[in-house]
Structure 1
Amino acid sequence: MNADMYQPAVLMTGAMRGIGLAIAAKFAQEGARLAMIVRDDKGEDCQKIQSELSQLGGEVHLIKADIRSKDDIELGVSKAAEVLGGLDICVLNASVVVLTNTEETSIDVYDMMHQVNARSNFLIAKSARQYLQESEIAHICMIAPPMNLDPKWLGAHLAYTSSRYLASMMVVGLSEEFKSSNILVNALWPKTNINSKDACNVIQGTYESQKQCRHPAIMGDACWSLIVRNAMGLTGEFFVDEEVLREDGVEDFNKYVESFEEEVF
């Protein structure tokens, strides 16, 4: 498949709000062709978002699937490849964020976080490989953190943090395994807190803590940069949004800054 680098066929999860929606909006503005996996493709919110993204210039399809279901994922990936004529990119952002300690975490919540935050990425990557390996720009980008084993983070909310780190381990493992198919597998994570109720950066440690947070658009810009630059040919890497954009020559990040109005995770 001779893909146009600037009109890639992109499969996305978690694109209905927050960071995922910001990434989808940036990709749509740039003319990407999007297939977004959603729970209810006929829902009013999904229809509204599809319409708004389409107006930005992109081709946008909604693919109904429950990413906790193996069969749904396989059918969803197959349908995405069909409607887009193949796959070039997977952006895997779907997440469940429940910040409770072990005593407060039910096994149902534990299972749900691991199914969505980690298992779904594994299954989508497995199903998408056959299509991605036909692309000249094949890339899987997971919104996943560098692993920080400071007990502060695992001790605060073990179930959630471990589900995120499992996705991070998949980045490393899949990047090595998929080299034979010429598929890049990398992660992207925000340097600072993101102004979104479902923002992911509760695992900091190596990053900045500040009294201001950033708009999700910074992740959209950074993710698009990684895609068009083909991650500089790197695989198995954990990129940070600000560092990616600095490589693009961005020096002023004030346009992304927003004041805290509530506690932001």
Structure 2
Amino acid sequence: MTVAHITGAARGIGKSIALRLARDGHDVAVSDLAVMAAELEATRKEIEAIGVRAVALHGDVSDPESVRRLVAETAGQLGSLDVMVANAGIAQTKALLEVGPDEYDKVHAVNGRGVFLCYTEAARQMIAQGTGGKILGAGSIASHKGFALLGVYCSSKFAVRALTQAAAQEWAPHGITVNAYCPGIVATTMWEEIDHDLGEINGVETGESMKEMAAGISLGRVSTGEDVAKLVSFLAGPDSDYMTGQSVLVDGGMIFA
């Protein structure tokens, strides 16, 4: 039985990924901030109901000691760490000229440093185990294209793409593949917040910004967490064994790269 850890799994895309990997047969550790404890515990119970082992852990991906503990507790309680999904992330919607250094650092601490810490701590554990593994990071359409009013967020997601390429090359000799999944517009709380903030900036009603962006989706709808989880299932499983260093779009046809 393989063991997967998904960060930011209390709700949204992370929860969908956790449930899908459980249905694929992985034992699952889910983690999120302590303030998300109730939602995270609900996720853990749903995973256990599928019939696999599950643990819920609290941690902050921007903190090195916290990430070390999350990896150690996953391996200690479930026996190993075979799949790491660095999913936790935050958004920021703001004109670049209005972004302060602290605001910039806050986004990159989670979306950039957080992925770096999850990647490296997971790799150390997998190398010590000697059995290879799968490391996955949360990219975005913003890993492939910069968007106005989302500049800092985009820069953090471009960082994920670069880290993924470098890590894939460095850890291939250890049998570890590293890939990123890159969603577009997803029906989650984060995208509701982006829509709200864009509406305030542009002076339009809530829902209008999302509607305008969704008009550019070839398949004609925004995605669900389950749409993203299907790609993660592939990247976490044996069918992707010969694939590494890729940042794969799953956006319904918005960005073509």
Aligned-residue offset at 1:199: 4.7
TM-score (norm 2): 0.80
Aligned equivalent of 2:63, options 31, 47, 69: 69
Paired amino acid for 1:29: R
| Secondary structure, counterpart of 1:213 in structure 2 | coil
Look up the match of 1:218: 227
Aligned equivalent of 2:151, options 158, 163, 183: 158
| Secondary structure, counterpart of 1:119 in structure 2 | helix
CA RMSD in angstroms, aligned pairs only = 2.6
Aligned-residue offset at 1:241: 3.5
Look up the match of 2:136: 141
Look up the match of 1:183: 176
Look up the match of 1:198: 190
Runs of 4+ in 1 over 4 A off after TM superposition: 199-202
Aligned-residue offset at 1:88: 0.6
Distance 2:64 2:84 in 1: 17
Look up the match of 1:89: 83
Paired amino acid for 1:198: M
Aligned-residue offset at 1:26: 0.8
> Which segments of 5 or more consecutive residues in structure 2 lack a partner in the other structure?
196-212, 253-257
TM-score (norm 1): 0.77
Alpha carbons 1:27, 1:58 under 8 Å: kept: no
Aligned-residue offset at 1:108: 2.8
- Identify the range of structure 1 (73-82 vs 105-114) with the bigger mean alpha-carbon deviation: 105-114
Q: Per residue, is there more helix in 1 or in 2?
A: 2
The answer to whether residue 61 in structure 2 is matched with residue 52 in structure 1 is no
Look up the match of 1:104: 98
Distance 2:61 2:46 in 1: 24
Distance 1:155 1:214 in 2: 21
Alpha carbons 2:217, 2:251 under 8 Å: kept: no
Alpha carbons 1:18, 1:197 under 8 Å: kept: yes
Distance 1:119 1:22 in 2: 23
Distance 1:41 1:34 in 2: 20
Aligned equivalent of 2:247, options 238, 246, 253: 238
| Secondary structure, counterpart of 1:43 in structure 2 | helix
